[in-house]
Amino acid sequence: MAASMCDVFSFCVGVAGSARVSVEVRFVSSAKGKGLFATQLIRKGETIFVERPLVAAQFLWNALYRYRACDHCLRALEKAEENAQRLTGKPGQVLPHPELCTVHKDLHQNCPHCQVMYCSAECRLAAAEQYHQVLCPGPSQDDPLHPLNKLQEAWRSVHYPPETASIMLMARMVATVKQAKDKDRWIRLFSQFCNKTANEEEEIVHKLLGDKFKSQLDLLRRLFTEALYEEALSQWFTPDGFRSLFALVGTNGQGIGTSSLSQWVHACDALELKPQDREQLDAFIDQLYKDIEAATGEFLNCEGSGLFVLQSCCNHSCVPNAETSFPENNFLLHVTALEDIKPGEEICISYLDCCQRERSRHSRHKILSWNYLFICSCPKCLAEADEPNVTSEEEEEEEEEGEPEDAELGDEMTDV
């Protein structure tokens, strides 16, 4: 049974302060499923919609390595200067213009029972009302024998960085239903996400868990059941249902990235400065990122993923007319038009990053088929249909190092 559009739009939080809704979900084809379409003219640069996820969770390794984020909305909790000090490995690192930092530590609150941290009282209460009453380990937060801790440790042992999913996203789905007064409504909402065939689901699980995925999946299902079994969701705990749940999260989880340092940099960019002062500040920021790259590499953000109903209806194009971002430094997803979009036109985002979109059609198809199990037929791919199915020497060298690139897909992690 499908969720109503009222259910769907209740998770959107408005468009640029307006109540209007300029999109609708339509069935496209058996191959593509649903799509999102404009119902009126959307101008380039306009925010099409802002969406709150049904559930979201920080990646487990990311949290373990002290990327401190709100346990509910994933807002970065470190001050920008603290963030810079940790990422550069320089305890004495000082940032100019500290007044531009958007982190307000005086608003932070923790759960009084398990001490997990939130950015505000609003987030603490929202988590408690939706799922945290079920998931709160209380004083057993650091007990390795607690069922949820056993589940998380098992997940970390099979899914290493760069992370693309979290078992805790699935746990929050179950906990949400367990706590809900209207369980059927939440089950309908979760059922909106695409379903795959058994063979496709197995490929997705294989990608997430590696070559020994069958035995690992059995272990995770047993621990998941011990920690969270819910009669209303009994199908999710069967071997087939658990595999389907994995596939749902693997193909629909939208990456979320937050960073107090990034917010500070954006604020610095907006400063009106004398040319000499601007040059000095830009040089400082450039050197700061070089120092971070040398010390930390590519892992800059607090990272996690969430399930977004409307965003999941946006199909892929190698020439997208919209893009996703998280400019509020939390889990609120903004979809913005990259060009004018006419009424009746489909709104498409890209599941590839900018560099991947510039690669050959053959290489793009390899990445998309490996990660999402479909062959793209967007205008760019159709126009390049006569190109040979080969990669350049440079691309072949990259792919010889491992599987097709999947560490930084545009759909899975979007810059803040």
Question: pLDDT value at position 2?
Answer: 43
Same domain, 67 and 182: yes
Do 131 and 55 form a contact (C-beta atoms < 8 A)? yes
Question: pLDDT value at position 15?
Answer: 41
Residue 149: CB atoms within 10 A of its CB come to 17
Residue that is last in its domain, among 162, 179, 196: 196
Question: pLDDT value at position 396?
Answer: 56
Ranges of H-type helices in 51-146: 60-64, 80-88, 121-127, 133-135
Nearest to 207 by CA among 368, 415, 339: 368
> Residue 94: which residues within 8 A CB-CB, separation 6 or more?
81
Strand partners, 58: 304
Helix (H) or strand (E) holding 254: strand 254-258
Same domain, 384 and 335: no
Question: pLDDT value at position 33?
Answer: 83
Same domain, 24 and 140: no
Tokens of 88: 């550069």
For residues 22 and 37, give the distance between their C-alpha atoms in angstroms, rounded to a whole number: 8
Question: pLDDT value at position 407?
Answer: 40
Same domain, 32 and 102: no
For helices 167-179 and 239-252, what crossing angle results, to 10°?
110
For residues 159 and 177, give the distance between their C-alpha atoms in angstroms, rounded to a whole number: 26
Do 318 and 376 form a contact (C-beta atoms < 8 A)? yes
Provide φ and ψ at 79, rounded to 5°: -60, 155
* 343 inside domain: yes
* 300 inside domain: no
* 317 inside domain: yes
Report field, pTM of the whole predicted structure over 0.85: yes
Same domain, 19 and 139: no
Strand partners, 281: none
Question: Is the peptide bond preceding residue 96 cis, with omega within 30 degrees of 0?
Answer: no
Residue 117: CB atoms within 10 A of its CB come to 16
* 369 inside domain: yes
* 312 inside domain: yes
Question: pLDDT value at position 227?
Answer: 97
Range of the domain at 385: 356-390
Same domain, 128 and 30: no
Same domain, 116 and 180: yes
At residue 61, the 3 state secondary structure works out as: helix
How many helices (H) and strands (E) the chain has is answered by 17, 12
Quote the radius of gyration of the chain (alpha carbons, Å). Answer: 22
Number of separate domains in the chain: 3
Do 64 and 311 form a contact (C-beta atoms < 8 A)? no
For residues 182 and 390, give the distance between their C-alpha atoms in angstroms, rounded to a whole number: 52
Question: pLDDT value at position 394?
Answer: 52
Residue that is last in its domain, among 297, 319, 350: 350
* 278 inside domain: no
Question: pLDDT value at position 16?
Answer: 39
For residues 221 and 201, give the distance between their C-alpha atoms in angstroms, rounded to a whole number: 15
Q: Is 347 left (phi over 0), alpha (psi -120 to 50) or beta?
A: beta
Same domain, 317 and 370: no
Place of tokens 């969406």: 51
DSSP code per residue over 194-235 = ----HHHHHHHHHHHH-TTHHHHHHHHHHHHHHHH--GGGGG
Give the domain CATH number at 323.
2.170.270.10
Q: Which ranges of the chain have pLDDT less than 50? A: 1-10, 13-19, 401-402, 405-415
Same domain, 92 and 49: no
Residue that is last in its domain, among 196, 213, 229: 196
* 365 inside domain: yes
Strand 346-349 with 315-316, pairing: parallel
Q: Is the Cα torsion angle 307, 310, 315, 318 positive or negative in sign?
A: negative
